[in-house]
Structure 1
Amino acid sequence: MMRSSLVSALPALGIVVLTLATVIYPEVAFHSAREGLELWWTVVFPALLPFFVLSQMLMGLGVVHFLGVLLEPMMRPAFRVPGTGSFVMAMGLASGYPIGAVLTARLRLQELLSQVEGERLMAFTNTADPLFMTGAVAVGMFGRPEVAGTIMAAHYLGALATGVLMRFHGPAGETDRPPLHRSETALGRAARAFREARRADGRPLGQLMGDCIRDSVNTLLLIGGFIIVFMVFIRVLEAVGAAGILARVVAGTLALWGAHPGTAPALVSGFFEITIGCQTASQSPAPLVQQLMAAGGIIAWSGLSVHAQVAALTRHTDLRLRPYILARLAHALLAAGFTLMLVEVVGFAGVAPVLAPARGVIPALASSSRLVGQTVGLLTLAAAATLVIDALRRIRLAGFRVR
């Protein structure tokens, strides 16, 4: 009884200590809050608003239902999620945190996936965006555009591997494929789902757009609040010396594993907030490969700031946070491992990727059209592959059907 009371009192005690530290260090709190506000207003808001609005409009117009039926044969065997997960995966890869969680929660509220399917989907679709990894981390922080390919490849390989691992989350006996009407083609089923979804929504285009913009701005305001609060929290921890104590503990653990202790401050900062963690990793005295491993793990973990955003954005659903956090930990370890493999085994760090931007500041809005193109291209290729598979399954050769 006493133990449970103590555990329940810890959050309150932490908030009290943080409040006192903020009062003692008002200048640190003010500048860190302004730093978080600038990050949200200049990067996060313009980068995510178009994707939030467009993704919600696509859901309201029935396009997601269309893609869900069309891509069901690909998503079920690979990740044990419905075909609608392909839309979440594409948007998550293109636009980054936390749109994967936002879209998964909306699909769950519309009952387009079950609780377990939503937890599987959110575990590997809430990823970092290419602009952050190439422009902010590789070019802006490391000053080495050639490592952008390594960071991105390790991150996305880790995400896909995490999705495959999450296939085993949930009951093993659940139905992996819904019953299909064999007399109807995949395109016909998708068109029927599109018409039914549009009829069920029923909102005129103007009302739909207005609702989507209002909901998107409210969501981004919530995200901005989390960014500012966690920025203040981390800077106050640094001011009181608590971050240094944690870094020394982590450094001792790294030394036991033969790793350079110089990445410890980055891991401590990255545990709470992704941007500060990556910046600290790029400035550490560790060898480049260990800097990249630390940054890759931090990007995959995404920080308690993003975790808190996910918890708030999924609060109206029955999606549990524990599977998501375990998946983030697995993704972090996998991303660090893939980074080591790509650098040491493949020698990938010296290959400049196509997506790596030129040196200099690239506004977030300038990348929106390119990211939309990537998303559309990915979904188009997947849809084409599904149509080919569906056609092959209907071909009868020598008395048997291709399966």
Structure 2
Amino acid sequence: MSDRLTADLAEGIARARDTDYLNMNALLTEEERALLAKVRVFGDRELLPIVNDYWERGEFPHEILPKLAALNIVGDTMSGYGTTPMSAVGQGLVSYELGRLDGSIGTFMGVHVGLAMQSIYQLGSEEQRQRWLPPMAALEKVGAFALTEPDHGSDSVALESTATRDGDTWILNGRKRWPGNATWCDVIVVYARDTADGTVKGFVVEKDDPGYSATKIDGKVSLRMVQNADIVLDEVRVPDDRRLVHCNGFPDVAKVLMGTRNMVAWSSAGHAVAAYEIALTYAQRRIQFGQPIAQRQLIQSQLVQMLADVTAMQLYCIRLGRLLDEGEVTDTMAALAKYYCSVKARDVCRQARDILGGNGITLEFHVMRHLCDMEALVTYEGTAEIQSLIVGREVTGSGAFV
């Protein structure tokens, strides 16, 4: 490969084409457009030059946290407590742009803001919000979210971790698997089943609590910068004032998860846009048999299919975000958007990798990183199969989970 082609591709990747075939931009407010531009500039300058190296090493770039804090993008429809007010579409655009750059950074923000902070915001008391949300909004404290267990992923409603009341404290026991940020976070929201009444309750565990331990999951080939962990809760004693007072069953947890499916849909669209832009740039510059491969019918057909899928994802996301802002979204709407966008984004990344040929497997061209990361997005916050069952139950009136 020529040095000129490599340079052209690097320039094309760093300078987004702003793929927007049906003018999604016209559906955004001025504030939303400004937010998108701000995150895009930050990502191109601060993230894109370093992500491949950190992804390959499987380490998190802690030095970006002060820069992320200065960007003031911690909001996710929350108000007050030091957060930055934004619409659901605005938060989606943050996830979209971070996804276009790197899935690990997008997932970090999704866990910290959409899961940990939103759990406290939606399910905590005013005192609990005042205690934890301001330092989390400033990224002075980092949060994690522990729901999934080694034996309970898709059926997390059946979680086995326990919480036993003992006077003014609760004793937590059990194991959790996959929480992002959990090896180095300051606070982690843990969901466990009350041994007295059988309901699921939420608790804020702090990293230095005796009996809490988190071990990094090694050997991942997806979201390698995210520090996922296996967690052990061994007689962890938590004061009652760290129990999220408005969490009284799994349906309360589901309300938090519904919002994160919006973010996963947007992030998936971002990955797909990145893959499409890279493939298009490559096809226009890669010469084979005396012509750019973009002049071949097969390549054009693939690019048009990718563009069609990307455009559909953008429209899905815009509509879902507006429904969230209007308070009209349902869990099945969020499930359908998460299902469609994550599955189609993975397809787009696969097609981009094909167009790049052998170069597609190298980190230099970024596509393989996006494809690997999409394998995680298809799975987390409810697998594609589970989302299809949620929507299938709604449209047919018959549950098919078992």
Under TM normalisation by the shorter chain, which class is it?
under 0.3
More strand, by proportion: 2
- TM-score, reference length from structure 1: 0.25
Indicate the structure (1 or 2) with the bigger Cα radius of gyration: 1
Q: Which has the higher contact order (CA 8 A, sep 6+)?
A: 1
Q: Which has the higher helix share?
A: 1
TM-score norm. by structure 2 comes to 0.25
